[in-house]
Amino acid sequence: MIRTMSRINRRGFIKNSALALGAVAVSGCSGENEMMLYNEAAEKTRAVIDKNADLRDMVRYATLAANGHNTQPWKFRINKSTATILPDFSRKTPIVDPDDHHLFASLGCASENFAFTAEARGRPAEIIFNTQDHGEILIDLGNGKTNESEFFKAIPYRQCTRSEYDGKKVSVSDLKLLEKTAQVKGISLVLITEKEPMEKVLDYVIAANSSQIDDPAFVKELKEWIRFNPSQALETRDGLFSGCSGKPTMPTWVGNLIFRFVFTKDSSNDGYAKQIRSSAGIAVFVSDKNDKEHWVNAGRSYQRFALQATALGMRHSFINQPVEVAEIRPDFTKWLGAGDKRVDLVARFGYAPALPMSLRRPVEDVLV
């Protein structure tokens, strides 16, 4: 079920046909050579999948999905007719995600990428959540015609773009398309495009972001996943590379030393205000029930939304703070009118140039 809080606006954008990979050089202390190596690795990670791709290569495309803090909290087991996506709890982020909600949503994101990729290579897929043990996702692969959907084609170009957008509105028809594509069982999508409710969401983001920055455990956990320069990002091939957020790069020891002083409430909240006010709208994903299967489905719904947005030349980025802070989530849920449902994910969307793409670990590292 999709509920819309938007006054849907006139078509007003030109589809971004280029969808450039976003291999943008980042200035700062790190040398150009380092950034060149980074860009090469990012391009290789996101190389268009071969026509005769095997399941291993499909795993690579699955891992290009969004995932909390780029922890890549997944393992894949493949055989001829199935793939299983398993949670990797060694990569959990217990402070920002104490109930593993984001972890399971991340698995849902990967499952959608897997299914679109398999379909494109003649293996139409069904996604089944298996509740046994900790919960895992079975991708049941059939045989059929190849179908290279626009979602499949968008996989290597989707990114979370944490920059200011250009303020342009999204057309009525594209908003409707986003709503339609995001439909997944048990998940509702609320689209907010009016100024007043967007400002209210900003208030919640600022309150929750301030509370997170006040929490030393949150800041410590976040810092552990920040990669301050291309070399550090290349070493781990996970985490949040500062260049991907349009931030300056610096030696790791400098980053570790100054992070607490640079990452302040005022600068961070100012940034969110500019980012939200320059966006065309906000998408909120809500589950009927608060359990792992629904969290997975919320991730699937987001990933479908994100691939559709990418195919339309749009950008998006998460602003999940109001659902991450336990003291603020109930009030946010009430304001949204979501009753006893679980508000899962919050993302802004609009138009902007691409930023550098994030990396992923090699396929061998995620196969079991």
Interaction between residue 137 and ligand FMN (CB under 6 A):
no
Give the pair of three-digit tokens for residue 88: 């990797």
Q: Does 316 bind ligand FMN (CB under 6 A)?
A: no
Instruction: Considering the complex, state which of residue 147 and residue 236 has its C-beta at the smaller distance from ligand FMN.
Output: 236
- Between CA 169 and CA 274 the distance in angstroms is 16
Check residue 358 for interaction with ligand FMN (CB under 6 A).
yes
Which tokens in the block code for residue 318? Answer: 């998460």
Binding window for ligand FMN (CB under 6 A); candidates: 79-87, 105-113, 144-152, 167-175: 105-113
160 contacts ligand FMN (rule: CB under 6 A): yes
- Three-state secondary structure call for residue 181: helix
Minimum separation from the CB atom of position 102 to ligand FMN (A): 4
| Under rule CB under 6 A, residue 314 binds ligand FMN | no
Angle made by CA atoms 110, 190, 358, in degrees to the nearest 5: 35
From the list 36-44, 49-57, 101-109, 202-210, the region that binds ligand FMN by CB under 6 A is 101-109
Q: Which of 92, 102, 292, 294 binds ligand FMN (CB under 6 A)?
A: 102
Instruction: Find the binder of ligand FMN among 293, 317, 341, 354 (CB under 6 A).
Output: 317
Report which residue type is found at 51: K
Q: Which is nearer to ligand FMN, 118 or 285 (CB)?
A: 285
The amino acid occupying position 96 is V
Q: Token pair 């007043």 is at which residue?
A: 196
Using CA atoms, how far apart are residues 124 and 116, in angstroms rounded to an integer?
A: 8
Candidate ranges 103-111, 172-180, 262-270, 328-336; the one touching ligand FMN (CB under 6 A): 103-111
In the block, residue with structure tokens 């299983």: 84
Task: Give the residue with the Cβ less far from ligand FMN, 91 or 123.
Answer: 91
Q: How far apart are CA 17 and CA 177, in angstroms?
A: 17
Binding ligand FMN (rule: CB under 6 A), the pick from 62, 86, 105, 182 is 105
Window 163-222: residues binding ligand FMN (CB under 6 A): none
Closest distance to ligand FMN from the beta carbon of 266 (Å): 18
Count of residues binding ligand FMN (CB under 6 A)? Answer: 18
Return the residues of window 56-75 that contact ligand FMN according to CB under 6 A.
66-70
Quick check: 268 binds ligand FMN (CB under 6 A)?
no
Q: What distance in Å separates the CA atoms of residue 108 and residue 68, rounded to the nearest whole number?
A: 12
Told to check if 275 binds ligand FMN by CB under 6 A, we report no
Q: Provide Rg for the chain, Cα atoms.
A: 19
Cβ neighbours of residue 225 closer than 8 Å, sequence gap 6 or more: 69, 70, 71, 93, 238, 239, 240
Q: Which of 53, 62, 78, 109 binds ligand FMN (CB under 6 A)?
A: 109
Applying CB under 6 A, among 162, 316, 341, 348 the residue interacting with ligand FMN is 162
How many residues does this entry show for the chain?
368
User: CB of 85 within 8 A of CB of 110?
Assistant: yes
Both structure tokens of 124: 């139409």
DSSP 87-118: E-GGG--TTT-TTSHHHHHHHHHHHHHHHHHH
Taking CB under 6 A as the rule, does residue 159 contact ligand FMN? yes
d(CA 81, CA 78): 8
Burial of 233 (0-12, 13-18, 19+ CB in 10 A): buried
C-beta closer to ligand FMN: residue 67 or 123: 67
Q: Does 113 bind ligand FMN (CB under 6 A)?
A: no
Min. distance of Cβ 97 from ligand FMN in angstroms?
A: 8
Residues engaged in binding ligand FMN (CB under 6 A): 66-70, 102, 105-106, 109, 159-160, 162, 240, 299, 317-318, 320, 358
